[in-house]
Structure 1
Amino acid sequence: MVLLVAKISKLYSKLENLHHHHQPSQTEALSASLEGFESQVSNLLKKFQSLELEILSFSWIQQCFELISLINKAFARLVVEIEYPASSWEASSVDEYLKYSLNLLDFFNSISSSLSHLAQARLSLSHGVNLEEKSPALALKNLKPIQPFSSNKELVKEKVKEASCSGKEEVIHHALMVIEGLGYWVCGVVLSGLSGDDKIYSEVRKLGIGFVKFSSFIRLETSVYEAIVEKKSGVKEVKEVNEAVAKLVTAISGGKSSDDEAEELRKKLGVFEAQLEVFGKEVNHLFDEVLSGRNQLLNGFRQLSE
């Protein structure tokens, strides 16, 4: 009996060792979670590219901007999966996230300013079109092409930094580098397109290239760089409005009938107004979302310290 018990114990011990051998270690599990997060983000970029929208059209810009929210949600799922809430993060990661969220809010404010600039220009053009029949001279004073808008403001005050850490903290830090690099890149794309200032993109793209190594991102970034920096492209609809303005100005200045040109401009301005309104709401919504998340994090730490 003693011998049988000894044999069973020895067999159980071997099975236990075999079980632990095949069970993934915490390091393997964390690596798998991080790879899963990166795969989700890469797939989001691939899905965005598969839409085949014209780069820097308003539809493309809106879909590009939505990537920030989708990537942030993928990051939130990662935090839950590895069971590492923000209350457990080291101070460096908390500080990194707070800096990132603050930079995003600054970007959103600048994007809102660019949208306001475009809205004001649209309003002036609409006034000019309405004056086209009664007072051609006054109409010409208002029928000016939409000009680029830039605030010359440093948008990224604190850039993401490499850090030496391990375990769950390393996973969080690596994921933060990805969401920061892509978040800044997306904001740079949107702001460069709306403002017509390619210098913004030239500055911000370095952050994305530095911390996002996905092939899907590299392909996307190459196409965007060509459109913004090499071709100096702006928002497609702004170009179309300016072209319609030029046609109407030529017709009025030449003393010809300008009814067709005026109607064409009215249609384009109507579509443009709707696009500005929809995108403005999206920017405000994401601003509130990021601000709410930031405040929740800060309130959580205040409660812990009490």
Structure 2
Amino acid sequence: MILPKGSYLSPKLLAILNNFEEALSERLRKLKPNGREDILSLTWMKFAMESLCQSHADIKTLITALELPVCDWDEKWIDVYLDNSVKLLDICIALSSELSRLNQGHLLLQCVLHHLDSNPSKQFVRARSSLDGWKQHISSRNPRIQNCFAILDSLTETLNLPKVKNSAKGKVLMQAMYGVKVETIFICSIFAAGFTGSAKKLRNLEVPETCLWAGAFTDLQGFVNGEIRIMFSSGRATVLKELEAVDTTVKKLYPMIQDGFGPGEAETFQNYISDLGKGADKLSQGLDLVAKEVDNFFQIVLSGRDALLCNFRVGGDVSDRAHQSGVKQVVR
């Protein structure tokens, strides 16, 4: 699709491309969860974002290995890169805002635990109010995450562009960027689906079999998308594992706070309080770790964009294109 029949690559260029694609293929194989319960756990999400960061970092290494100066880039490549980078930064901002929003619920859970710590029977009304606040907070919707789907649609529409002519190095660069873009769209769509509680926008991307990573990606995509669709069809409120664990404990604890309980249930009640504390801490810590990786991804995309713009400024040919490609959109 990107390297048409008859395209010639020197042994050196072919080795650079193959090394990149083999590394991407291995990364995609490692991303496949061991089982359904590992999908969209915060541990897996952190690992997925780390993988994405590494793939984008590998693009920088590949550009250096190609010895392809920015001044030799085709104008179409530059426009697509600048436009895509702004969209990725917007996605990062949306993901960060959702992770922060979810983590704000930790304060409400801490209030519940505080009210139940010393003399729970006198604090039931306040504990129940905090639990009501937590349930309302978690079930609310973040419009920024909803907007991610439109951005991902736009990225998908330009997945196979632009065409490359008369530049063997350019073809290698575009095929490598194609692979990273596929991984980026896939992972970001999984995150967006998990955060919105909807599998309707999950993408099934078709990739050419000529890519060395095609088999690993198709296997990963089929397994993860399929399992997430099953989870939602079974009526699960959320596919985020750590969030669901807290929600399950809240549903057990809430009736006992609202209606009271007998002497024989006191130990069970204390166990639920303990489970809530452990689950809340695990959820908060997991959200923090994923947020850190999303921020790392943001910085990698931003630094790559800045490096490109800086090289053009040296050549005196960036001002108009930078502004046309939405550089000002990054400033919030």
Structure 2 length normalisation: TM-score? 0.76
SS at match of 1:56: coil
Say if 1:198 and 1:26 are closer, same or farther in 2 by CA, change over 3 A: closer
Tell me by how many angstroms 1:28 deviates.
4.6
Which segments of 5 or more consecutive residues in structure 1 lack a partner in the other structure?
1-24
Which residue matches 1:164?
Answer: 163
User: Within 5 A, what are the aligned runs for 1:18-29?
Assistant: 26-29=9-12
Alignment RMSD: 2.4
Whether the 8 Å CA contact 1:58–1:235 is kept in 2: the answer is yes
1:37-95 Cα distance to aligned partner (Å, 9 max, x none)? 21111011123337778111111110011111111122222222222133321111111
Match of 1:155 among 151, 155, 158: 151
What letter matches 1:67 in structure 2? S
Structure 1 length normalisation: TM-score? 0.82
1:105 aligns with 2:89: yes
Comparing 70-79 with 105-114, greater Cα deviation is found at 70-79
Comparing 159-168 with 293-302, greater Cα deviation is found at 159-168
- Which whole-Å CA distance do the structure 2 matches of 1:259 and 1:74 have between them? 50
Which residue matches 1:173?
Answer: 174
User: Within 5 A, what are the aligned runs for 1:74-223?
Assistant: 74-132=58-116, 133=120, 134-144=122-132, 145=135, 146-147=138-139, 149-151=141-143, 152-153=146-147, 154-156=150-152, 157-158=154-155, 159-166=158-165, 167-200=168-201, 202=202, 205-206=203-204, 208-210=205-207, 214-223=214-223
- Which whole-Å CA distance do the structure 2 matches of 1:61 and 1:33 have between them? 29
- Which whole-Å CA distance do the structure 2 matches of 1:305 and 1:63 have between them? 40
Which residue matches 1:245?
Answer: 250
Which residue matches 1:8?
Answer: none
- Which whole-Å CA distance do the structure 1 matches of 2:140 and 2:228 have between them? 13
Say if 1:192 and 1:148 are closer, same or farther in 2 by CA, change over 3 A: farther
Whether the 8 Å CA contact 1:45–1:217 is kept in 2: the answer is yes
Say if 1:226 and 1:150 are closer, same or farther in 2 by CA, change over 3 A: farther
- Which whole-Å CA distance do the structure 2 matches of 1:209 and 1:160 have between them? 11
Q: Which runs of 4+ in 1 moved over 6 A?
A: 50-53
SS at match of 1:104: helix
Which residue matches 1:13?
Answer: none
- Which whole-Å CA distance do the structure 2 matches of 1:214 and 1:26 have between them? 20
- Which whole-Å CA distance do the structure 1 matches of 2:142 and 2:45 have between them? 18
Tell me by how many angstroms 1:249 deviates.
0.4
Which residue matches 2:29?
Answer: 46
- Which whole-Å CA distance do the structure 2 matches of 1:278 and 1:31 have between them? 37
Tell me by how many angstroms 1:210 deviates.
4.6
SS at match of 1:143: helix
1:247-274 Cα distance to aligned partner (Å, 9 max, x none)? 1102222312332211210111112111
1:206-225 Cα distance to aligned partner (Å, 9 max, x none)? 4x435776111111111111
Whether the 8 Å CA contact 1:124–1:142 is kept in 2: the answer is yes
- Which whole-Å CA distance do the structure 1 matches of 2:221 and 2:98 have between them? 22
- Which whole-Å CA distance do the structure 2 matches of 1:77 and 1:50 have between them? 28
Whether the 8 Å CA contact 2:77–2:162 is kept in 1: the answer is no
Match of 1:33 among 4, 16, 30: 16
Q: Which has the bigger relative contact order, CA under 8 A and spacing at least 6?
A: 2
What letter matches 2:126 in structure 1? L
What is the aligned length?
Answer: 278
1:125-158 Cα distance to aligned partner (Å, 9 max, x none)? 2222322313212222221433263422122345
- Which whole-Å CA distance do the structure 2 matches of 1:137 and 1:267 have between them? 22
Whether the 8 Å CA contact 1:149–1:196 is kept in 2: the answer is no
Tell me by how many angstroms 1:238 deviates.
0.5
Whether the 8 Å CA contact 2:42–2:240 is kept in 1: the answer is yes
1:144-182 Cα distance to aligned partner (Å, 9 max, x none)? 433263422122345334333232222222222211121
Whether the 8 Å CA contact 2:32–2:224 is kept in 1: the answer is no
Q: Percent identity?
A: 26
